[in-house]
């Protein structure tokens, strides 16, 4: 339990049983807390609740608020502000009730309609991508959780994060949007560029592009996490402008043939960003950098 005190057994309500809410609810139940109810509107959410939170009753939001000591709001970012306002206006919030949301983008300011009525607001964001399956529970182990909240109540967020298997890291209220942008940039765009590369390989007749790419992509990610940008290899950092020009040329043709201009655009943008960062660090001299930029613009 590290240096964090184990909180008393809490009655927790989950809104809603999306990929994040169902998994975190299961993790909290495994830690000994009681999941008193779950709000699951769609058929997929109800199936997920049945799988990961078997035996937990489905409830409406007002009933969850009425019966829970802690309310976990695991909804999409854009849905969070109107949900909090609705709860503050329509549900029977009690002073001292704890509202926790899982959005990376927001701190606790978004919970103000509820905290103005005496609730305690906390933000707990696991830095992990979710499938909504039981395998996510194992992935939570040693995952970093970005936590934000009033200083007197931060230990609650920290302790719950540890109980779910994570490592809490305090993120300042004003830093949440930039923090979330960093995570989305690394995670979401990795999926995009991998998908683009798989599309190209599949067009060449490679039957299992994921298997073909896996050793390379895993090694690149491991090296980047271990060594940062010093692990960078490839034609840009070597200053091989003719190779970059060839890539630009063939991807231009591919974009036209396969209606895949997004691949050409992202290659150019990322190669340019790579060159800029390599030049700033001295890995490319002025002449090499200029030739790379010219090749990308050709």
* CA distances in angstroms from 192 to 118, 187, 260, 269, 292, listed in the order given: 43, 9, 13, 14, 24
- Give percent of the chain with pLDDT exceeding 70: 98
Per-chain mean pLDDT for the chain: 95
Calculate mean pLDDT across residues 86-95: 95
**How would residue 1 be classed by pLDDT, with cut points 50, 70 and 90?**
very low
Using an 8 Å Cβ cutoff, are 74 and 14 in contact?
yes
Q: What is the spatial distance between Cα 202 and Cα 199, in angstroms, rounded to a whole number?
A: 5
Residue 120 sits at φ, ψ, to 5 deg, of -100, 125
pLDDT above 70: residue 22 = yes
Residue from 137, 146, 143 nearest 108 by CA: 146
Q: Quick one: 117 exposed, middle or buried, by C-beta within 10 A (0-12, 13-18, 19+)?
A: middle
At residue 5, the pLDDT reads: 55
- Long-range residue pairs from 117-120, CB within 8 A, at least 24 positions apart, any chain: 117/88, 117/93, 118/93, 118/94, 119/93, 119/94, 119/95, 120/96, 120/149, 120/150, 120/153, 120/156
- Give percent of the chain with pLDDT exceeding 90: 96
Residue 20 three-state SS? helix
At residue 298, the pLDDT reads: 81
| Beta-bridge mates of residue 12 | 35, 70
pTM value > 0.75: yes
Calculate mean pLDDT across residues 262-275: 98
Ordered alpha helix ranges (H), 164-285: 176-203, 209-227, 235-238, 241-258, 261-280
pLDDT above 70: residue 240 = yes
Name the least confident of 6-20, 116-130, 209-223.
6-20
At residue 4, the pLDDT reads: 61
């Amino acid at each position: 339990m590290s240096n964090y005190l184990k909180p008393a057994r809490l009655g927790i309500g989950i809104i809603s049983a999306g990929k994040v809410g169902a998994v975190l609810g299961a993790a909290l139940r495994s830690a000994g807390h009681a999941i008193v109810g779950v709000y699951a509107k769609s058929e997929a959410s109800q199936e997920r609740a049945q799988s990961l939170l078997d035996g937990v009753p489905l409830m409406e939001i007002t009933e969850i608020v009425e019966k829970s000591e802690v309310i976990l709001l695991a909804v999409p970012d854009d849905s969070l502000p109107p949900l909090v306002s609705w709860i503050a206006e329509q549900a029977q919030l009690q002073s001292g009730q704890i509202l926790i949301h899982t959005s990376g983008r927001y701190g606790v300011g978004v919970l103000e309609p509820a905290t103005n009525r005496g609730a305690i607001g906390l933000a707990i964001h696991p830095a992990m991508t979710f499938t909504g399956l039981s395998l996510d529970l194992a992935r939570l182990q040693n995952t970093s959780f970005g936590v934000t909240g009033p200083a007197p109540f931060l230990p609650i967020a920290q302790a719950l994060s540890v109980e779910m298997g994570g490592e809490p890291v305090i993120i300042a209220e004003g830093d949440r949007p930039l923090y979330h942008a960093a995570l989305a940039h690394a995670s979401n765009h990795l999926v995009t560029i991998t998908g683009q590369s798989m599309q190209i390989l599949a067009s060449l007749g490679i039957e299992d592009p994921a298997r073909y790419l896996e050793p390379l992509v895993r090694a690149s990610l491991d090296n980047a996490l271990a060594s940062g940008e010093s692990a960078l290899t490839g034609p840009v950092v070597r200053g091989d402008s003719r190779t970059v020009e060839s890539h630009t040329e063939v991807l231009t043709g591919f974009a036209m043939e396969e209606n895949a201009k997004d691949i050409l655009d992202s290659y150019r943008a990322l190669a340019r960003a790579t060159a800029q960062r390599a030049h700033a660090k001295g890995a490319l001299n002025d002449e090499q950098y200029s030739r790379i930029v010219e090749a990308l613009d050709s």
